[in-house]
Structure 1
Amino acid sequence: MPTFFIKHITKYSYNNPVIDGANLIRLHPINDQYQKVVSHFISVTNNPFIETYNDFYNNRIGTFLITEPHDELSITSEVEVITSNKLFPEDTADVKTQWNELKQHKYDSDVIDFLKPTAFSGTNDVLSLIEERKLTEKTPYKTVLELCDYVYNNFKYIKGITNVDSTLDDVWSLKAGVCQDFTNIMLQMVRLCGIPARYVSGYICPTDDAKRGEGATHAWIEAYIPFYGWFGIDPTNNTIANENHVRLAVGRSYADCSPVKGVFKRKVESDLFVKVEISTTKNQEETVIPENTFAASKTNNSYQRNLERIQQQQQQQQ
């Protein structure tokens, strides 16, 4: 069972002071039998009180306010976590029994939100693919594996080709993107088969074999497999999510899982600095954070939800 030490730094710089910043963070790793959080410390500019609660999907949420004027917002999350592998589905029940099991539970509260696909330009193509490959004549587990392989082999991993405003249609047309794009496309494909699927945000930790998105924020999906439960699979790397995937949050889409989002007052220009350090040993050295990362890159209106959009852009660049 590996132990990982993760430091996630997010810093926003503004060209003029802002006030009344209200922020929400999803930086608390999931703590369960497969992922044990040994310690977790969060530090924020001006040391505000962070109120925590569990949201509808049982993600641990932190909220805080900074009412006084500030020209930067720095959030540092330091985690020590022990992970373990989850056994793969046995997949021994016959095909018909498994699909019937899914149908019987499609209105259950723990899966109903993860069944409805989002319509996009590739919907008919995906439905044709499902029919041509006779995916619903295979077990849900084998269907998910085949779709993961399809996304991995038919979409190119290219940083910077998509951005915060890229849609499912854009990604389908480009047949390229980064981890968030691969995840969003696979979510729709799995749901179009009638299999519940949810978005997962987190980290992929260093291994002997280099992985796309390693040492940074990452995204993958979890599909609901009959007689098993939630099964994690990473289309960006065409691999089953294992002990090197550290989960932060789950939801219907990125909007339910964004690590940082918020609002503030005043019209300013802002810039973002993000750094993620992941190691199997604890680093005693302090991470150097630039004093001022402002690069006049974005203008925001008062109360504009700029922090979430900037965070999405950061995800696209990983």
Structure 2
Amino acid sequence: MAVFNIIHITRYKYNLPIKESINEIRLFPHNFENQDVLQYQLLISQNPNVSITKDYHGNRVGNFNTLEAHTEMTIESRMLVRVNHSLKIPEIDATTVADLDFQNDIYLLRLCYPETITKQDEINAILKEINHENKSIIDIAFDCSQYIYTHFTYTKGITNIETTIDEILGHRKGVCQDFAHVLLQLLRTAGIPSRYISGYICPNESGLRGEGATHAWVEIYTPKQGWLGIDPTNNIWTMDNHVKLSVGINFTDCTPVKGTFKGVSKQTLSVFVSIGYEDGRHFEEINDVELQKNSIEFQQQLVYAEQQQQ
């Protein structure tokens, strides 16, 4: 069991004023049987009203608008979370895909459907290589995770939030988000209900990959044990230092912050994560996030708008 004090700051900056910013956030940590949210605070620049609802996956979702002109927006999420993943360490479980029966559970059925990709033959070949047929769900999940850990290289800066599974399979490089998507494709092709998890992996003495920043992994469902987390980036079942934020079919369902605004402006995004421990240790990391490239038409509008400011 472990307790973490986590601060997550998302900061957008705009070189020209923008207005009518409409945003959706998924920054609220889950309460689960193995994760308790002891304290939570949300701070947003200009203090807008935040409407909180739940989405299809059970995530708490916040929506807010900032109508007046501004050149910066900061969203600060503060949480004190207690985690006890030892409650969810996989037990000996011989359940196979053939034993599954989800005909009356639309949600689990949806989580068995792989994406339509060009390189599906490569996914099928990987499953054949690990000899997945007749293995238990637990064994298939770990073998798929181990394959990714062994055959894919953890490399920052190669991919972004729009990188497809086909592209990841092409260069076999990426980060936690990419490995989670490949693992989901493998598991769903094998017929195992699986979902994407967004959260944090808190640093420890083991030197896990992806520590200190937002992280991604996968959960599989077994009738006997429910949802079990597996982290292909580190080839481990989730531990006490995995803190869960949101769940979904893929990253799109779990995007921490997304929105739109009126105006022509160049925007930059930085994400700061601070993790504090009970024993006084402290870890901080800041990342500049690569945003979607603008169209040529938008670039032309931006140049014109900047010239008008001179």
TM-score over 0.5 for the alignment?
yes
1:162 corresponds, among 154, 159, 162, to: 159
For 1:141 and 1:3, locate their aligned partners in 2 and report how far apart those are by CA, in whole Å.
Answer: 28
Task: Determine helix, strand or coil for the equivalent of 1:162.
Answer: coil
2:200 corresponds, among 189, 197, 203, to: 203
Distance change >3 Å, CA 38–CA 271, structure 1 → 2: same
> For residues 247-301 of structure 1, what are the alpha-carbon distances to aligned partners after superposition, in whole Å with 9 as ceiling and x for unaligned?
0000001010000000111111111121101120498x9x9x9xxx9x9996588
More deviation in 190-199 or 121-130? 121-130
Distance change >3 Å, CA 299–CA 188, structure 1 → 2: closer
1:116 corresponds, among 104, 113, 116, to: 113
> For residues 203-257 of structure 1, what are the alpha-carbon distances to aligned partners after superposition, in whole Å with 9 as ceiling and x for unaligned?
0011111111101000000011231111100000101012111000000010100
The answer to whether structure 1 residue 100 and structure 2 residue 98 are counterparts is: yes
Distance change >3 Å, CA 297–CA 132, structure 1 → 2: closer
Q: How high is the sequence identity, in percent, across the aligned residues? A: 38
For 1:176 and 1:106, locate their aligned partners in 2 and report how far apart those are by CA, in whole Å.
Answer: 36
Residue 167 of structure 2 aligns with an amino acid whose one-letter code is D
Residue 133 of structure 1 aligns with an amino acid whose one-letter code is I
**What does residue 234 of structure 2 align with?**
237
**What does residue 30 of structure 1 align with?**
30
Residue 172 of structure 1 aligns with an amino acid whose one-letter code is L
| Contact 1:26–1:62, Cα closer than 8 Å, also in 2 | yes
**What does residue 9 of structure 1 align with?**
9
1:143 corresponds, among 125, 140, 145, to: 140
Aligned ranges for residues 1-318 of structure 1 at < 5 Å? Answer: 1-85=1-85, 86-93=87-94, 98-102=96-100, 104-281=101-278, 299=294
> For residues 123-179 of structure 1, what are the alpha-carbon distances to aligned partners after superposition, in whole Å with 9 as ceiling and x for unaligned?
112213323433121101101010000001000001111234422111101011011
Consecutive unaligned residues in structure 1, runs of 5 or more: 303-318
For 1:105 and 1:257, locate their aligned partners in 2 and report how far apart those are by CA, in whole Å.
Answer: 24
For 1:157 and 1:227, locate their aligned partners in 2 and report how far apart those are by CA, in whole Å.
Answer: 33
| Contact 2:130–2:144, Cα closer than 8 Å, also in 1 | no
For 2:244 and 2:233, locate their aligned partners in 1 and report how far apart those are by CA, in whole Å.
Answer: 16
Q: Please, what is the CA RMSD of the aligned residues?
A: 2.5
For 1:92 and 1:20, locate their aligned partners in 2 and report how far apart those are by CA, in whole Å.
Answer: 52
The number of residues matched between the two structures is 292
